[in-house]
Structure 1
Amino acid sequence: MSSKLGEKLVVAISSRALFDLTESHEIYEKQGIRAYSEYQIENEDKPLLPGAAFPIVKKLLKLNENNHERPVVEVVLLSRNSADTGLRIFNSIQHYQLDITRAAFSSGRSPYRYVSAFASHLFLSTDPTDVRAALDDGFAAATILPKQGNQSDASQELRFAFDGDAVIFSDESEKIYKKQGLQAFTDNERAAADTPLAGGPFKNFLAALHRLQRDYSPENCPIRTALVTARSAPAHERVIKTLREWNIRIDEALFLGGMPKGQFLRSFGADVFFDDQTSHCDDAAVHVATGHVPHGVANDSSEEQK
Structure 2
Amino acid sequence: MTDSSSDGMSFSHKKLIVAISSRALFNLDESHAVFEKDGVEAYCRYQIQHEDIPLETGVAFSLVRKLLALNERDPENPRVEVILLSRNSADTGLRIFNSIKHHGLNISRAAFTRGASTHPYISAFGAQLFLSAEANDVRKTLEAGFAAATILPSASAAVSEVDPSQLRIAFDGDAVLFSDESERIYKQDGLEAFESNETLAAKQPLPGGPFKNFLALLHQLQLEFPADTAPIRTALITARGAPAHERVIRTLRAWNIRIDEAFFLRGKDKGEFLKAFRADIFFDDHQKHCESARQHVATGHVPHGVANE
Give the TM interval when normalised to the shorter protein.
Answer: over 0.9
Matched residue, 2:115: 108
Matched residue, 1:245: 254
Shift of 1:119: 1.2
Matched residue, 2:99: 92
Which of 70, 80, 84 is matched with 1:63 structurally? 70
Deviations 1:276-302 (A, max 9, x none): 0000000011111100000000001xx
The answer to which structure, 1 or 2, has the higher relative contact order (CA under 8 A, 6+ apart) is 2
Matched residue, 1:303: none
Matched residue, 2:270: 261
Deviations 1:110-158 (A, max 9, x none): 1111111111111000011000000000000000124314364341110
1:65 aligned partner, one-letter code: E
TM superposition score normalised by structure 2? 0.94
Matched residue, 2:22: 15
Deviations 1:40-97 (A, max 9, x none): 1111000011111111111111111111110111000000011111000000000001
Counterpart CA distance in 1 for 2:29 and 2:120 is 24
Give the number of aligned pairs. Answer: 297
Matched residue, 2:225: 216
2:178 aligned partner, one-letter code: F
Asked whether the 8 Å contact 2:62–2:161 carries over to 1, the reply is no
1:195 aligns with 2:209: no
What is the RMSD computed on CA atoms of the aligned residues? Answer: 1.3
Which of 210, 225, 240 is matched with 1:231 structurally? 240
**Gap regions ≥5 residues in structure 2:** 5-12
- Find the residue that maps to 1:65 and give its secondary structure: helix
Counterpart CA distance in 1 for 2:180 and 2:276 is 27
Which of 14, 25, 29 is matched with 2:32 structurally? 25
Asked whether the 8 Å contact 2:157–2:296 carries over to 1, the reply is no
Which of 132, 154, 161 is matched with 1:153 structurally? 161
Matched residue, 2:135: 128
1:163 aligns with 2:164: no
- Find the residue that maps to 1:107 and give its secondary structure: coil
Structure with the higher fraction of residues in helix conformation: 2
Asked whether the 8 Å contact 2:157–2:297 carries over to 1, the reply is no
Paired-residue identity, %: 64
Shift of 1:28: 1.4
- Find the residue that maps to 1:84 and give its secondary structure: helix
**Gap regions ≥5 residues in structure 1:** 301-306
Asked whether the 8 Å contact 2:162–2:278 carries over to 1, the reply is no
TM superposition score normalised by structure 1? 0.95
1:190 aligned partner, one-letter code: T
